[in-house]
């Protein structure tokens, strides 16, 4: 069995560019399913019923150490495409071997908010860029484990289409 330990290091690229973005860290989006509250006869109390494959607003945040040119390219109108690569450290609990596994995240989104941060002697600015997610695909060691494309009605976990029944009903 492998036990995940930590992120060793990561890099961020704009799609089609070789230069890495000079980021402090990235806050990846969460996956909150939209729900409807039901109550009434035959229901003891209240139940929030999830809507399959329907997610609330999802924001990715780039945290910058200082003001850099790359932060301004994230303010443009239209789609922004990024690729994240991460090396994660894991340990094999049977052999004790410490290993690395690769994570790749392909992300597309729209510029939502930019904050330049503040200026203070000997400190980072703490600037941020927020992008509204429209697409994400996550690979672990080259195997796709999650894909969500909000504009193409795609929601796959480990290659399995989570919305296949709904898409069939809707004529997709």
pTM, two decimals, is: 0.91
- Which pLDDT does position 6 carry in this prediction? 97
Distances (CA, A) of 128 to 7, 56, 94: 21, 21, 42
The number of distinct structural domains making up the chain is 1
Residue 126's contacts (CB-CB under 8 Å, 6 or more residues apart) are 63, 64, 117, 118
Phi, psi of 151 (to 5 degrees): -90, -20
- Which pLDDT does position 172 carry in this prediction? 87
- Which pLDDT does position 18 carry in this prediction? 86
- Which pLDDT does position 15 carry in this prediction? 87
Segments in the chain below pLDDT 70: none
149: domain CATH number?
Answer: 2.30.110
pLDDT digit string, tens, across residues 74-91: 999 999 999 999 999 999
Domain membership of residue 122 as a residue range: 2-38+46-170
| Residues 100, 9 contacting (CB under 8 angstroms) | no
- Which pLDDT does position 80 carry in this prediction? 97
- Which pLDDT does position 22 carry in this prediction? 84
- Which pLDDT does position 123 carry in this prediction? 95
């Amino acid at each position: 069995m492998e036990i995940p330990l930590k992120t060793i290091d990561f890099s961020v690229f704009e799609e089609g560019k070789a230069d890495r973005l000079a980021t402090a860290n990235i806050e990846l989006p969460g996956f909150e399913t939209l729900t409807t509250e039901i109550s009434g006869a035959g229901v003891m109390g209240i139940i929030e019923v999830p809507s399959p494959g329907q997610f609330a607003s999802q924001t990715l945040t780039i945290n910058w150490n200082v003001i850099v040119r790359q932060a301004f390219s994230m303010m443009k109108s239209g789609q922004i495409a990024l690729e994240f690569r991460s090396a994660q450290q894991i340990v094999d609990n049977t052999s004790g071997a410490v290993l690395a596994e690769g994570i790749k995240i392909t992300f597309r989104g729209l510029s939502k908010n930019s904050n330049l941060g503040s200026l203070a002697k000997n400190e980072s600015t703490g600037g941020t860029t927020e992008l509204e997610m429209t697409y994400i695909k996550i690979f672990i060691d080259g195997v796709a484990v999650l894909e969500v494309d909000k504009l193409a009605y795609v929601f796959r976990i480990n290659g399995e289409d989570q919305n296949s029944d709904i898409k069939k009903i809707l004529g997709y």
